[in-house]
């Protein structure tokens, strides 16, 4: 045990990896069945990256998508394994920087809360107002039309999100911002894969968004990228915020078993001393 502690990984840390893979697949399958326009298949990857470091996060993401395809539950997952790995890598660097433990300014949490609830409201409104065309395909309304028709709903959502971020999330702004940035990166990397390998159709709930952008006249690659910029930032922000709440709820003694958590705490404690 002492050797494993010096090496950074112990039995508790290593046991997290298969658990994280199971969480990823379970979350991804649930969203796939419900046809939601998000993924929720990287919560476990973000958790391992945040606690164990970027390279373990990378490996967890790669293994998760590979196993998901090999067990026959998702034929597309393997093609996006690199994206999953990048998500774990970025989560690991965020964890090493202490973004899941270091308190952020409350104004930043307010902004993250506003963005989050706005995006959530948009997704809900899209699916409340969806329709089916003559061919039986799901058709989503244009976001611009929703804004024009029901501006009060979105204004209230933004204000409620700002308040929730400030008074409820309080110090979670850094984790939310890291998730937002990770989502943008994931969208950039995944769009060419979805467009050129699968024509933008991957059997997920996000296909409806791709179809909506295609119906507006956008190309396949533009539609895949537009779908990614809508779904990925919200999805990764959600995953990072969930992991933030998990880490905040863990006892300090348990956190000390994870190398990234130890490094983040050491950096946090050293920061005030350095500033003096």
Of the listed ranges 132-136, 159-163, 181-185, 199-203, the least confidently predicted one is: 132-136
Cβ atoms 161, 117 nearer than 8 A: yes
CB atoms within 10 A of CB 57: 34
- The string of pLDDT tens digits covering residues 189-223 is 999 999 999 998 888 888 888 887 887 778 889 88
Separation of alpha carbons 26 and 41, rounded Å: 8
- What is the reported pLDDT for 36? 85
- The string of pLDDT tens digits covering residues 100-129 is 998 999 999 999 999 999 999 988 888 788
Instruction: Write down the residue that tokens 């996006």 correspond to.
Output: 80
CB atoms within 10 A of CB 275: 6
What separation in angstroms does the CA of 179 have from each of 64, 105, 136, 232, 246?
Answer: 19, 16, 35, 9, 15
Select from 47, 64, 91 the least CA-distant residue to 249: 47
């Amino acid at each position: 045990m002492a050797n494993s502690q010096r090496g950074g990984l112990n039995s508790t840390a290593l046991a997290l990896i298969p658990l994280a893979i199971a969480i990823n697949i379970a979350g991804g399958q649930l969203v796939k069945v419900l046809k939601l326009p998000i993924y929720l298949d990287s919560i476990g990857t973000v958790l391992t990256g945040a606690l164990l470091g970027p390279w373990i996060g990378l490996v967890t993401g790669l293994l998760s998508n590979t196993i998901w395809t090999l067990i026959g539950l998702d034929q597309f997952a393997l093609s996006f394994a690199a994206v999953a790995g990048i998500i774990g890598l970025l989560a690991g660097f965020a964890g090493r920087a202490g973004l899941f433990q270091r308190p952020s300014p409350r104004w930043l949490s307010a902004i993250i809360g506003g963005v989050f609830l706005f995006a959530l409201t948009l997704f809900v409104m899209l699916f409340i107002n969806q329709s089916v065309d003559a061919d039986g395909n799901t058709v989503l309304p244009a976001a611009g039309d929703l804004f024009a028709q029901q501006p009060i709903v979105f204004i209230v959502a933004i204000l409620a999100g700002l308040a929730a971020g400030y008074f409820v999330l309080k110090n979670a702004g850094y984790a939310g911002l890291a998730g937002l940035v990770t989502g943008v990166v994931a969208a950039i990397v995944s769009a060419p894969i979805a467009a050129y390998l699968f024509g933008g159709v991957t059997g997920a709930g996000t296909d409806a968004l791709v179809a909506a952008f295609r119906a507006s006249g956008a190309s396949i690659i533009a539609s895949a990228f537009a779908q990614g910029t809508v779904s990925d930032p919200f999805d990764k922000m959600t995953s990072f915020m969930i992991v933030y709440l998990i880490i905040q709820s863990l006892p300090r003694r348990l956190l000390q078993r994870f190398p990234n958590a130890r490094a983040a705490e050491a950096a946090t404690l050293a920061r005030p001393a350095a500033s003096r």
